[in-house]
Structure 1
């Protein structure tokens, strides 16, 4: 289905660039909604999932909250608040950084790693549903175009 049909737009876009901008925003929200449906049964938000994935990528090394903030997909996220929620769920540990008492180190727990492993299975199923829509080559090309757009 076209973006025009999805948003019930009857007049043409002024430019192809305007169309692609609207299409990107609409598709981004569609993907986020799809991912939220995967995460909801596990009691996670997209932002919490992002923090857990960042921590898993650095495991077993701790990561400073400020570094998590820099790597977040959603730059408006409050990483400190997200870490607090994940600590309460026993998915991460928060400790004082030995080299800088003002900084806080965060590390993913075994429980957090186990949760991500379970989520990886669900993510793989989601990926398969997308493989029916785009080939790997098309997905790579789309990623290259998006990278170029941000450059």
Structure 2
């Protein structure tokens, strides 16, 4: 990906600025591919993330605070995401019997089933995104990204 070609400039961009622009362009491309992969399932990346978090709970309920903490994209409208997933039948929400102020959220069987399909779609998207990188490249890239 040539930054100068993409943003259509002939001027030399200072390395720090070029790096930030490059990271932004790569992030946008990754997001575009993933969003396209999930669109066939009428699922947003954030909804997918909520389902994965709930699956990771291994049957234990999560609350909105837990979801917010573990979200890749931090947002304040987690309640709305959960509401949409409830309408789709992928999660359910109940009041905690021991603490009526606490709301418990769990993934449903249909939610687990759609997540298996989404896992396959995401694997294909990841392969498409990373097709030019080998294992050594990925390890090196992750070391560099860890420095952030």
TM over 0.5: yes
RMSD: 1.5
Alignment coverage as a number of residue pairs: 148
The answer to which structure has the higher strand fraction is 1
Q: 1:21 to 1:109 in 2, by over 3 A?
A: same
Deviating beyond 6 angstroms after TM superposition, the runs of 4 or more aligned structure 1 residues are: none
TM-score (norm 1): 0.90
Separation (CA, whole Å) in 2 of partners of 1:101 and 1:50: 26
Larger relative contact order (CA 8 Å, sep ≥ 6):
2
What is the Cα deviation at residue 141 of structure 1? 1.9
What is the Cα deviation at residue 131 of structure 1? 4.3
Gaps of 5+ in 2: none
**Residue 91 in 1 paired to residue 90 in 2?**
yes
Query: What secondary structure, in the 3-state scheme, does the structure 2 residue paired with 1:107 have?
Result: strand
Separation (CA, whole Å) in 2 of partners of 1:136 and 1:56: 28
Q: Is the 8 A contact 1:59 1:107 kept in 2?
A: no
TM-score (norm 2): 0.92
2:109 counterpart residue number: 110
1:136 counterpart residue number: 135
